[in-house]
Amino acid sequence: MKVLVAIKRVIDYAVPVRVRPDKAGVEALLPKLSMNPFCEIALEEAVRLKERGVAAEVVAVSVGPQHFQDTLRTALAMGADRAVHVPVTAETFAAAGAAGGGGGGGGGGGGPAAASESPLQPLGVARVLAALAGREGAGLVLLGKQAIDDDCNQTGQMLAGLLGWPQATFASKLELAKGAARAVVTREVDGGLEVLSLPLPAVITADLRLNTPRFVTLPAMMRAKKRPIEAAPLESLGLAPADVAPALALLAVEQPPARAAGTRVGGVEELVRRLREEARVL
């Protein structure tokens, strides 16, 4: 069985971001970009499936600007067999005249100038992944449950909908035997856990607790640098720029309202008194 893993490049989770003065997006305080943490977990799970002999091949795919290839190299170093990059930039839409009134670029995730941004929105990504899943004859598509930049939490569900495949989102455990026709997935839901059994092919999105991704070793990274990354333009997948053009324009990005400065209290007694008399919450 072939496993497809979708990878997104985002501003590193540990790097603070701030709203740009022109409100067109956010900027990172350090120029560090990494694989989205949830994508890392999805990839780790796929590589483990390969190591157990369940998956025959792991294909890492990414849709977006040229610099997303760096993250696909990390995916190769982590154990993906192949990498496929579908190049899409803001210019893709501008050239096609499909950018709409917003002047191109930007989306639910931020402004055109932020270095990490993909101009795509989940519907566009899901359409590309659906075409790739068809081309590759994938038996399973693994994704992260959400990207930590746009926080959408949509792509996996939309992909499953487009393909007409079953879905298991927020997975914290995946049981899949070699040659099995079904995957058993434990999901994190409000209030606890839920277990589903899915006929394959299926789409699964990873929650934080699915696994702990391995570290990439330097020799693995050096080997990955030499390996080719296939470029699969939209046209080769039967898609046009209009199919993946963002539907939402980003009007403004604003700072969250700042909280008034708080105070330190001297002890429990003072805390309780102020909670009663000032905050009136006790």
Partner 1 sequence: MIPVLLESGLRHCRAAQSLLRCSATQARQASTLLYVEHSENGTVAPATLSAAAAAKHLPGQLEALVCGSGEAVKHAADAAARLPGVSKVWLASDAALEHPLAETHATLLSSLAARQKPSHIMAASTAQGRNVLPRVAALLATQPVTDVVRIVDDDTFVRPIYAGNAFATVQFKTPPAVRVITVRPTAFPVDQTAAAAGAPGTGGKPAPVEPVPSELLAPLGSVPAAKWESADVRSTGRPELGSAKVVVCGGRALKSAENFAMLEQLADLLGGAVGASRAAVDAGYVANDLQVGQTGKVVAPDLYIGVGISGAIQHLAGMKDSRTIVAINNDSEAPIFSVADYGLEADLFKAVPELIEAVKKVKQQQ
Residues 64-93 that bind partner 1 (CB under 8 A): none
Least Cβ distance, residue 220 to partner 1 (angstroms): 26
Amino acid (one-letter) located at 280:
R
What span, in angstroms and rounded, lies between the C-alpha atoms of 247 and 131?
19
9, 39 Cβ separation under 8 angstroms: no
If binding is defined by CB under 8 A, does position 60 make contact with partner 1? no
Least Cβ distance, residue 233 to partner 1 (angstroms): 13
Site size with partner 1, rule: CB under 8 A: 100
Binding segment for partner 1 among 60-68, 84-92, 201-209, 214-222 (CB under 8 A)? 201-209
For partner 1, give the closer residue by CB, 68 or 93.
93
**At 142, is the secondary structure helix, strand, or coil?**
strand
Footprint of partner 1 on 262-281 (CB under 8 A):
262-265, 267-269, 271-272, 274-276, 279, 281
What span, in angstroms and rounded, lies between the C-alpha atoms of 147 and 36?
6
For partner 1, the binding residue among 22, 51, 194, 230 (CB under 8 A) is: 194
Amino acid (one-letter) located at 82:
R
2, 57 Cβ separation under 8 angstroms: yes
Cis peptide before 166 (omega within 30 of 0): no
Footprint of partner 1 on 169-188 (CB under 8 A):
169-170, 172, 184-185, 187-188
If binding is defined by CB under 8 A, does position 11 make contact with partner 1? yes
125, 68 Cβ separation under 8 angstroms: no
